[in-house]
């Protein structure tokens, strides 16, 4: 599992992350230390057909 550093250093970093998160065709999701889903990108929903709001906390 890959760890993602979310300590963005600039507005540009946030913009680049946002562009990747929302426009990639790869499913990306984040999980908490307890293994529960925190968030997922639009491609995750499109590929798996699951609504992210329904999955949060699983």
Question: What six digits make up the tokens of 8?
Answer: 């963005």
Residue 29 above 90 pLDDT? yes
Q: Which residues lie below 8 Å from residue 44, measured CB to CB, with a gap of 6+?
A: 27, 28, 29, 50, 52
Residue showing tokens 């999980």: 31
Backbone angles phi, psi at 29, to 5 degrees: -145, 160
CA pair distance 22, 41, nearest whole angstrom:
6
In this prediction, residues 32-50 reach a mean pLDDT of 94
In this prediction, residues 37-51 reach a mean pLDDT of 94
**Which has the higher per-residue pLDDT, 55 or 34?**
34
Q: Please indicate, yes or no, whether the overall pTM of this predicted structure exceeds 0.95.
A: no
Question: What six digits make up the tokens of 45?
Answer: 């929903």
Residue 4 above 60 pLDDT? no
Residue 3 above 70 pLDDT? no
């Amino acid at each position: 599992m890959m760890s993602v550093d979310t300590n963005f250093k600039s507005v540009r970093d946030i913009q680049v992350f946002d562009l990747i998160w929302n426009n990639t065709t790869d499913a990306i999701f984040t999980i908490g230390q307890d293994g529960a889903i925190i968030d997922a990108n639009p491609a995750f929903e499109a590929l798996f057909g699951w609504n992210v709001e329904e999955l949060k906390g699983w």
